[in-house]
């Protein structure tokens, strides 16, 4: 197979999987929130259960006029949604879907993932700055403030796992969970969550902030800033932001599942079978995180910007530092 053909196939796979994942989560959000609010949710599109609602929405976005405000910074305005999408797509590269099913098993997998996930925020800042709208500007700057506050706990929460696993490769971290306690003669390993529950909590909260979902949706804050940095976006560009949000939810949940819940692995299933059921197992674990974040979104109001900074700097950072110390001691003792 020529390398160009392989590249084309890979691109097709990526171009299908990411929107499909985004749409699946978007549909889940619509339906779950509807049932939490004594509504029915999407019902007619597609004949049953409204399954085609998001496809219909996507088609609608395609039909919209391509609007760029007069006093917008045109090139930056047009580049911002692409950059947001790039951050999301880049994350897919390192997620292990099964034994040997990692698109690219980087040695510095988790480091790469955390680095590239913050590119999206730069896209958000660009969108806010270039729109030529005061609401967008405030939203973009809030996103920047949020990035600085939340990147640190996000990274520090991962350190505990890296100490336990002894590697930064995401596949290596899964393998480490499979063979954990094997020296003690246990037949099965254990997911890291049993000693890293605090790390998981901090990681989850910080990744909600990274996704700017309620209770951390201050950059969008409909009731204050209209739509924040998205105010001036419409049509296809808006669709990009929309899909990126849900696809990002998918990837960050996948990383959380890989780090703390053992990724594609279930106890007692040999590698030969895991190759096929691994992706499904991972999807199940992702669904758990996605559900919790949807649940939180429709329960909580949003924080104020200064309360978010307080939470990040006065609570999450010290907690994750303490977690690192405890994990270090644990590693030595075990």
Partner 1 sequence: MGEELEMTVAPDMVRNLAGAAVSVELETPDMTLNIGPQHPSTHGVLRLVAKVDGERAFDVQPVIGYMHRGYEKLSEVRTYPQITALINRIDWVSGYANEIPFIVAAERLMGVEPPERAQFIRLILTEMARISSHLVFQASYPLELGAATPLFFALRDRERVLDLIEMVTGGRFHPNFNRIGGVKPAVGAGPTTRKTIQDLPAGFLAETRDAMDRVLSTADQLEDLVAGNEIVLARTKGIGILPPEVAIAYGVSGPNLRASGVGFDLRNVSDYLPYHLFDFQVPVGEAGDCWDRWWVRLEEIRQSASIVRQAVDSIPSGPLQAKVPRIIKVPAGEIYVRAENPKGEMGYYVVSDGGLGPYRLKIRSASFSNISILRWALEGTLVPDIIAIMGSLDFVLGDVDR
Q: Are 178 and 223 in contact (CB under 8 A)?
A: no
Q: Are 153 and 164 in contact (CB under 8 A)?
A: no
299 binds partner 1 (CB under 8 A): yes
Among the residue ranges 61-69, 90-98, 285-293, 305-313, the one whose residues contact partner 1 (CB under 8 A): 305-313
Among the residue ranges 29-37, 44-52, 104-112, 273-281, the one whose residues contact partner 1 (CB under 8 A): 29-37
- Among 31, 237, 285, 302, interactor with partner 1 by CB under 8 A: 302
In whole angstroms, the minimum distance from the beta carbon of 208 to partner 1 comes to 13
Among residues 182 and 310, whose Cβ is nearest to partner 1? Answer: 310
- Among 84, 259, 305, 316, interactor with partner 1 by CB under 8 A: 305
Task: Bin 268: left if φ > 0, else alpha if -120 < ψ < 50, else beta.
Answer: left
Q: With the C-alpha atoms ordered 297, 43, 88, 161, is the resulting torsion angle positive or negative? A: positive
Q: Residue 297: which of 228, 229, 227, 249 has the closest Cα?
A: 249
314 binds partner 1 (CB under 8 A): no
226 binds partner 1 (CB under 8 A): yes
Count of chain residues binding partner 1 (CB under 8 A) = 29
Q: Indicate the length of the chain as a whole number.
A: 334
- Among 30, 221, 255, 257, interactor with partner 1 by CB under 8 A: 221
Among the residue ranges 81-89, 185-193, 223-231, 278-286, the one whose residues contact partner 1 (CB under 8 A): 223-231
35 binds partner 1 (CB under 8 A): no
- Among 1, 2, 38, 194, interactor with partner 1 by CB under 8 A: 38
One symbol per residue from 119 to 158: x for binding partner 1 (CB under 8 A), - otherwise; what is it?
---------------xx--x--x-----------------
230 binds partner 1 (CB under 8 A): no
Among residues 37 and 179, whose Cβ is nearest to partner 1? Answer: 37
Tell me how far apart the alpha carbons of residues 229 and 126 are, in angstroms, rounded to a whole number. 9
Burial grade of 132 (CB within 10 A; 0-12, 13-18, 19 or more):
middle
Q: Are 105 and 171 in contact (CB under 8 A)?
A: yes
292 binds partner 1 (CB under 8 A): no
In whole angstroms, the minimum distance from the beta carbon of 222 to partner 1 comes to 6
What's the per-residue H, E or C state across 109-167?
Answer: HHHHHHHHHCHHHHHHHHHHHHCCCHHHHHHHHHHHHHHHHHHHHHHHHHHHHHHHHCC
Q: Residue 127: which of 138, 114, 112, 111 has the closest Cα?
A: 138
306 binds partner 1 (CB under 8 A): yes
Q: Is the peptide bond preceding residue 329 cis, with omega within 30 degrees of 0?
A: no
Q: Residue 26: which of 201, 244, 178 has the closest Cα?
A: 244
In whole angstroms, the minimum distance from the beta carbon of 204 to partner 1 comes to 16
Residues that bind partner 1 (CB under 8 A): 33, 36-39, 134-135, 138, 141, 214-215, 217-218, 221-226, 298-307
């Amino acid at each position: 197979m020529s390398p160009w053909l392989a590249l084309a196939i890979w691109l097709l796979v990526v171009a299908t999987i990411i929107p499909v994942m985004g749409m699946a989560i978007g549909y889940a959000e619509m339906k779950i929130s509807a049932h939490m609010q004594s509504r029915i949710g999407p019902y007619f599109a597609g004949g049953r259960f409204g399954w085609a609602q998001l496809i219909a929405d996507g088609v609608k976005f395609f039909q919209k006029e391509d609007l760029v405000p007069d006093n917008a910074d045109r090139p930056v305005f047009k580049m911002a949604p692409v950059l947001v999408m790039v951050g999301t797509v880049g994350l897919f590269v390192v997620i292990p879907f099964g034994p040997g099913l990692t698109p690219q098993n980087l040695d510095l997998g988790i480091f790469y993932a955390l680095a590239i996930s913050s590119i999206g925020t730069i896209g958000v800042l660009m969108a806010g700055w270039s729109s030529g709208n005061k609401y967008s500007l405030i939203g973009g700057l809030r996103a920047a403030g949020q990035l600085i506050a939340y990147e640190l706990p996000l990274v520090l929460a991962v350190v505990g796992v890296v100490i336990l696993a002894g590697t930064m490769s995401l596949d290596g971290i899964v393998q480490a969970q499979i063979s954990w306690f094997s020296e003690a003669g246990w037949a099965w390993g254990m997911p890291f969550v049993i000693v890293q529950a605090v790390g998981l909590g901090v990681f989850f909260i910080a990744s909600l902030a990274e996704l700017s979902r309620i209770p951390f949706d201050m950059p969008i804050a409909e009731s204050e800033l209209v739509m924040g940095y998205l105010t001036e976006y419409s049509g296809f560009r808006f669709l990009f932001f929309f899909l990126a949000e849900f696809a990002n939810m998918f990837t960050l949940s996948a990383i959380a599942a890989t780090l703390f819940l053992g990724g594609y692995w279930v106890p007692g299933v040999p590698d030969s079978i895991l190759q096929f059921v691994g992706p499904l197992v991972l999807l199940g674990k992702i669904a758990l995180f996605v559900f919790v974040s949807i649940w939180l979104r429709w329960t909580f109001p949003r924080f104020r910007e200064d309360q978010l900074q307080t939470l990040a700097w006065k609570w999450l950072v010290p907690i994750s530092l303490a977690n690192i110390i405890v994990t270090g001691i644990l590693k030595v003792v075990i």
